[in-house]
Structure 1
Amino acid sequence: MSAVSAASIIGFDENLKVPNRNDVYPTIDPKVHYDAQTFANKVVLITGSSRGIGAQIALQYARAGALLTLVARSQASLDESKDAILRERPSAQVLTFPADVRDVKKAEEIVTATVAHFGRLDILVANAGTLRPMDQPFASKDPTEWWNVLEVNVRGPYNFTHFAVPELLKTKGQVVFLNSAAAQVRVPNSSEYCTSKHAILRFAEFVTLEYPDIKVFSVHPGSVQTDMFDTFGGPIPPDSTIELAASTVQYLTSGKADYLSGRFVSSTWDLGEVERDWKEKIIAQNSLVSKLSLPV
């Protein structure tokens, strides 16, 4: 477990003032999408989808009728994720591709193969990510390992988005970047992770700016107990279920919150309350993006 304390984090109190949610709640209840088959014949490509949050996102899209492409480094773990989907939904169509998301050619091949097989691409969920132990300041860390976090967390999403955009323009599709509260806060000894997540938030803004027909969401999943969390720990204990994160992603890509495109969204926010009390202010002030802001 990290020696970093919650008290040492800068910006942790800078948050939207809405009720916190730790599990699925009525506004984002995925049963609506299961019953209506909201994503029937929609093609969803998910990186980092062999375990944890990515695997749960894949399962919930399958329950709602989606056609899936799953990407992760290990074929064996991809097979486990696919088998879990097929046990519950035997008619699901699932492609799997083992790949390192940093590999540009692999990203191109996977997007091309997905469209060749299914005929389209509707949603890209860039979930694959990594972090290092929060045990040393950056100058004490191996520089190659430090930079590798940027490679996985920024270059990986960029690679898949780059090749997905032409297809997403055809379908007026969506991109979800699994982000982190680390995009907004400064955690000592975690400069590589926080920098990578802040960068991907800004990249989401550029995708929205340059391709306004594509909706883009930068989503903090909450502090979820996953294998990565167990391996590296952190100063904030787990506070959210894996279903909350997956259901938030599904809700955002159902077209019910397009005003949040290009913005940071936390799964722990009650999105019903956000829409009711904050939507007009968010739009008017162009909030939930990276910018300098001073009190008037």
Structure 2
Amino acid sequence: MSLPSLSMPLPKGLSEDITVETRHDIYPTIDPTQSYASQSFAGKAVFITGASRGIGRTTAVVFAKAGAAVAIAARSAGALEETKKEVLKAVPEAKVESYVVDVKDTAQVQAAIDGAVKAFGRLDVVIANAGSVRRFEGTMDQEDAAAWWHTMEINVFGVYNAIRASAKYLRETNGSFFAVSSMAAQVRMPGASDYCTSKHAVNRLIEFIALENPGVKAFSMHPGNVPTQMNVDSGAQDLGIPAEETPELPAATMLYLAGGGADWLSGRYISATWDLGQVEREWKDKIVEKDLLVNKLDVHV
């Protein structure tokens, strides 16, 4: 089956959001210029999965420009080399290590993260960016079971493997952990049960990461609708949802949060498209008081 057209009822969950200005690119609150100038991440180390293209590649460049040593991981050695070239083009003196990793493989992820710590001496930020999506079509009984489960393995087990391997190091540095999630975590629509369920699970997993590691800041982040290959593969644009966010938006958002810009949001779902300055001013008290932006059963009595 095809995705609903705009003349049909929209999928459930699209309105489950907070009302703040929508941002599509870097804006004043998260502007990394000062971090670049001060080298605010000098002496710190970042590990990024899914770093071979798109958001992961851009994030590696952004953190390197702020002074961080960067470990990049993905399945393609050739694509990782391209990312490394991009980082060194932007920051010739950057420290960059690359690891060919399948995030479904617990041992591979552990070895890569241990290797990064050995190379850099510490670990301050882990970004679980690797993800998988297939075209949103077909009901559950029509889908290939292996393909459905593959989405869950990459999107959920991959995040688990990343925190399992890195938690002890992040506790030592009071570091930050990011899972690149999606607004799809809240969306219910035919044909997308694997992807939407996987991202909903990731949001809950972030809550547990924050709960079990009180000194670690953990965030589940919708990166925006960035024109990546995954966005094309999903067919999301057939829903009339434009891919109009830059990859610099989620990258700068993570730099801002890893720098302590909004620690109170740890353990919660956020969107890179939200103006975080406005969220702080207008929503913080309500979010903290009512424990919002977490998975819970919505019951109105």
TM-score by length of 2: 0.96
Partner Cα distance (1:112, 1:243) in 2: 28
Q: 2:221 aligns to what SS in structure 1?
A: strand
Matched residue, 1:85? 87
Q: Which amino acid aligns with 1:32?
A: Q
Q: 2:155 aligns to what SS in structure 1?
A: helix
Q: Is this contact kept in 2: 1:2–1:232, CA < 8 A?
A: no
Give per-residue Cα distances to partners, 1:110-166, cap 9 Å, x unaligned: 111111111111100000000111121111011001000000000111001101001
Q: 1:8 aligns to what SS in structure 2?
A: coil
Partner Cα distance (2:260, 2:211) in 1: 18
Equivalenced residues, count: 296
Q: Is this contact kept in 2: 1:21–1:269, CA < 8 A?
A: yes
Q: Is this contact kept in 1: 2:134–2:233, CA < 8 A?
A: no
Matched residue, 1:181? 183
Give per-residue Cα distances to partners, 1:160-201, cap 9 Å, x unaligned: 110100111100111000000011111220000000000010
Q: 2:48 aligns to what SS in structure 1?
A: strand
Matched residue, 2:5? 5
Matched residue, 1:114? 116
Q: 2:141 aligns to what SS in structure 1?
A: helix
TM-superposed CA distance for 1:238, in Å, is 0.8
Partner Cα distance (1:8, 1:88) in 2: 42
Partner Cα distance (2:191, 2:15) in 1: 19
Matched residue, 1:199? 201
Partner Cα distance (1:47, 1:5) in 2: 34
**1:240 is the counterpart of 2:242:** no
- Runs of 4 or more consecutive aligned structure 1 residues displaced over 6 Å after TM superposition: none
Q: 2:82 aligns to what SS in structure 1?
A: helix
TM-superposed CA distance for 1:239, in Å, is 2.7
Q: Which amino acid aligns with 1:217?
A: F
Matched residue, 2:140? 138
Q: 1:283 aligns to what SS in structure 2?
A: helix
Select which of 226, 229, 237 maps to 2:228: 226
Q: Is this contact kept in 2: 1:73–1:98, CA < 8 A?
A: yes
Partner Cα distance (2:51, 2:59) in 1: 8
Matched residue, 1:283? 288
Q: Is this contact kept in 2: 1:4–1:134, CA < 8 A?
A: no
Partner Cα distance (1:155, 1:90) in 2: 35
Q: Is this contact kept in 2: 1:46–1:69, CA < 8 A?
A: yes
Q: Which amino acid aligns with 1:197?
A: K
Partner Cα distance (1:28, 1:233) in 2: 30
Give per-residue Cα distances to partners, 1:45-83, cap 9 Å, x unaligned: 000001000000000000000001100000000000000
Bigger mean CA deviation after superposition, 102-111 or 223-232:
223-232
Q: Is this contact kept in 1: 2:26–2:252, CA < 8 A?
A: yes
Partner Cα distance (1:154, 1:238) in 2: 24
TM-superposed CA distance for 1:2, in Å, is 5.5
* Aligned CA-pair RMSD: 1.3
TM-superposed CA distance for 1:30, in Å, is 1.1
Q: Is this contact kept in 2: 1:8–1:188, CA < 8 A?
A: no
Partner Cα distance (2:79, 2:120) in 1: 23
Select which of 57, 72, 75 maps to 1:70: 72
Structure 2 residue runs without a partner (length 5+): none
Partner Cα distance (2:300, 2:273) in 1: 26
Identity of aligned residues (%): 45
TM-superposed CA distance for 1:233, in Å, is 2.0
